[in-house]
C-alpha cells in the first residue's frame, strides 16, 4: 500500500477549509457514531497522564475526553481545523496546536505518555511510517489508542459471500476504495503495530449499528447502549476497531555474529553454510573469505 517503486507514498488528504465539522458531524445524523467512539475511548485511554498527543485531531471533537492530562497537543495537517479547535478551546495554556504531517512529527523522542489517533489512519497511504513516527515520540510504557476502519465486517463478509463485491474482506492488504480512503484488516494493523514495538493490550469492535435504517427508527440511547455491550464481545467483525497498545522496550538486538544479514535483493534472512551466506529462496550464495562478507556479486 505504501510504496510506489519502493518509496513510501507521501500524498496527504486535503481537509483545508473543509466543512467536515458541520457536514460530517453537526448537521448530519452521526450522534450514534460520536457517542460510541467516546465510550470506546474512555474504556481504553488512561484516565490521567502528563502529556497527550492527538494525531489528526481535526477541530478538536474529542478533546473533552482528555481532561485528566496536564498538557494536550493537537496535531493536524489542516491549519483551518486547528484554528477552529483554537477558537473553541480558547487560549487555555493546557493546549498546544501543531500543524504537521503524521509521518514527520516535530517532537523529541519519548515526549508523550499517551497518544490517540481516531478516524485518521484510513486516510494514510503510509501506515507503517505513521506508526513508526508515533512509536518514536511515545515514551516506553506509553499508551497509544487508535481507531481504524476495518475491511472485515459483517456487511463486507455477506457481500463477499453473495459475490456482490470484487475484493475479499479476508486478505491482509489494505483496500483503497476511494483515493486516500483505506480499510484495513485487523490482523494487518496488529502486525504493523508489532513491527514498531507495540504490544496490543485490548481491541474493541465499535460502530456495529451504523445503518441509516436503525439510526432513523431507534432511539440513539438504545443503539449506543447495545453497541457498548457488543464492544465487550471482542469479536472483530465491526466496521471500526479501537486498539489500545503499549510501547514496549525496544526489541533486544542479538549479538550473534551474522544472523542479521539479509539478501540485498529479496530482503530474506540469509543462512550461513560453510564459507558462504545462502538465500534459500533464490538459491544464491555470497562468499565469506577471510572474515570478509563479499556481497558485490553472488557466487551462483
Ligand X SMILES: C[S@@+](CC[C@H](N)C(=O)[O-])C[C@H]1O[C@@H](n2cnc3c(N)ncnc32)[C@H](O)[C@@H]1O
Site residues (vs ligand X, CB under 6 A): 12-13, 15, 56-58, 61, 76-78, 81, 101-102, 118-120, 123-124
Tell me which residue has its CB nearest to ligand X: 58
Element holding 13 (H helix, E strand): none
> CA 8, 186, 198, 266 torsion: positive or negative?
negative
Give CA separation, 237 vs 50, 153, 184, 229, in Å. 34, 4, 12, 14
21 CB neighbour count, 10 Å cutoff: 17
* Least Cβ distance, residue 72 to ligand X (angstroms): 13
Question: Closer to ligand X at the Cβ: 78 or 284?
Answer: 78
Q: Which of 242, 175, 156, 168 is nearest to 205 (CA)?
A: 242
C-alpha cell at 297: 556479486
Min CB(46)–ligand X separation in Å: 19
E strands present in the chain: 3-4, 7-8, 49-55, 69-76, 95-99, 112-117, 138-149, 175-178, 181-183, 198-206, 240-247, 271-273, 276-278, 285-289, 292-294
Closer residue to ligand X in complex, CB, 143/278: 143
- Minimal distance in Å, beta carbon 123 to ligand X? 4
Shortest Cβ 179–ligand X spacing (Å): 13
* Alpha-carbon span 216 to 34, nearest angstrom: 16
Give 17 or 68: the residue with its C-beta nearer to ligand X. 17
Q: CB nearer to ligand X: give 87 or 199.
A: 87
CB 56, CB 120: distance < 8 Å: yes
Minimum CB distance to ligand X smaller for 126 or for 263: 126
**Of 287, 296, 161, whose CA–CA distance to 169 is shortest?**
161
Residue among 137 and 278 whose Cβ is closer to ligand X: 137
Calpha distance 137→113 (Å, rounded)? 9
**Residue 196 CB, nearest approach to ligand X (Å):** 17
Of 81 and 190, CB closest to ligand X: 81
Q: Quick check: 259 and 247 in contact, CB under 8 A?
A: no
Cβ 13 to ligand X, closest distance in Å? Answer: 5
Minimum distance between the CB of residue 101 and ligand X, rounded to whole angstroms?
Answer: 4
Amino acid at each position: 500500500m505504501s510504496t510506489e517503486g519502493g518509496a513510501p507514498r507521501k500524498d496527504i488528504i486535503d481537509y483545508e477549509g473543509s466543512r467536515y465539522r458541520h457536514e460530517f458531524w453537526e448537521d448530519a445524523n452521526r450522534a450514534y457514531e460520536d457517542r460510541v467512539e467516546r465510550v470506546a475511548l474512555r474504556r481504553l485511554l488512561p484516565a490521567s497522564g502528563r502529556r497527550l498527543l492527538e494525531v489528526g485531531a481535526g477541530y478538536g471533537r474529542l478533546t473533552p475526553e482528555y481532561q485528566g492530562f496536564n498538557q494536550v497537543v493537537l496535531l493536524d495537517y489542516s491549519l483551518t481545523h486547528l484554528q477552529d479547535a483554537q477558537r473553541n478551546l480558547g487560549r487555555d495554556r493546557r493546549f498546544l496546536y501543531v500543524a504537521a504531517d503524521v509521518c514527520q512529527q516535530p517532537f523529541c523522542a519519548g515526549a508523550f505518555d499517551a497518544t490517540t489517533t481516531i478516524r485518521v489512519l484510513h486516510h494514510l497511504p503510509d501506515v507503517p511510517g505513521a506508526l513508526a513516527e508515533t512509536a518514536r515520540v511515545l515514551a516506553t510504557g506509553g499508551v497509544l489508542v487508535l481507531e481504524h476502519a476495518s475491511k472485515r465486517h459483517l456487511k463486507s463478509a455477506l457481500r463477499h459471500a453473495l459475490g456482490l463485491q470484487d475484493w475479499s474482506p479476508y486478505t491482509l492488504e489494505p483496500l483503497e476504495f476511494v483515493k486516500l480512503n483505506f480499510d484495513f484488516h485487523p490482523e494487518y494493523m496488529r502486525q504493523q503495530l508489532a513491527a514498531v514495538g507495540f504490544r496490543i493490550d485490548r481491541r474493541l469492535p465499535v460502530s456495529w449499528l451504523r445503518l441509516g435504517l436503525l439510526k432513523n427508527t431507534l432511539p440513539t440511547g438504545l443503539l449506543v447502549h447495545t453497541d457498548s455491550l457488543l464492544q465487550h464481545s471482542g469479536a472483530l467483525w465491526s466496521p471500526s476497531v479501537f486498539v489500545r497498545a503499549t510501547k514496549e522496550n525496544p526489541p533486544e538486538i542479538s549479538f550473534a555474529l551474522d544472523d542479521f544479514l539479509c539478501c540485498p535483493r529479496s530482503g530474506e534472512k540469509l543462512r550461513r553454510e560453510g564459507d558462504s551466506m545462502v538465500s534459500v529462496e533464490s538459491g544464491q550464495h555470497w562468499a565469506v573469505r577471510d572474515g570478509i562478507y563479499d556481497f558485490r556479486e553472488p557466487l551462483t
